[in-house]
Amino acid sequence: GTRDAIEAVLDGQNVRRTLNDLVQRHLLNVSEGKADREYSMNSIVRHFYYDSLSKRERRAMHRRAGEYYEVEEPDEQRAARHFEQAGEHKRAAQLATPNIWTLIDQKVKHS
């Protein structure tokens, strides 16, 4: 996600320096997104980081990410995925289903 999204997930912590350090050490990938740079972890780093968190911490972070993508940087698919990971299945389904034909159309186009 973007730096703003990552800061929201981490409950407002400033992560600029941390992101730059991780990118320089090739532990994060950077790409240009719709609005800003987007950061993603490679699978080894993601698994290591996830293993260091408790289930409660992971769910809280996914909940904050879902809220961010629902309101701040609207992306219903991302929000739904994060709410599903947070264990909020009803909320995830509500976000994922209003535009079901758009989702189906996207899948058909990418097939």
Pinpoint the alpha helices (H) of 10-73: 16-24, 43-52, 55-71
How confident is the model at residue 58, as a pLDDT? 93
Residue 81, SS3 per DSSP: helix
User: In this structure, what are the phi and psi dihedrals at residue 28, rounded to the nearest 5 degrees?
Assistant: -130, 145
Buried b (16+ CB within 10 A) or exposed e, 32-69: eeeeeebbeeeeebeeeeeeeeeeeeebebbbbbbbbb
- Span 7-53, pLDDT tens digits: 999 988 889 998 999 899 988 999 998 878 999 988 888 888 888 99
Show the CA angle centred on residue 98, arms to residues 94 and 101, nearest 5°. Answer: 135
Q: Are 95 and 76 in contact (CB under 8 A)?
A: yes
How confident is the model at residue 99, as a pLDDT? 67
The amino acid present at 71, given as its one-letter code, is: V
User: Tokens standing for 61?
Assistant: 């972070």
How confident is the model at residue 35, as a pLDDT? 77
- Span 47-90, pLDDT tens digits: 888 889 999 999 999 999 999 999 999 999 999 999 999 999 99
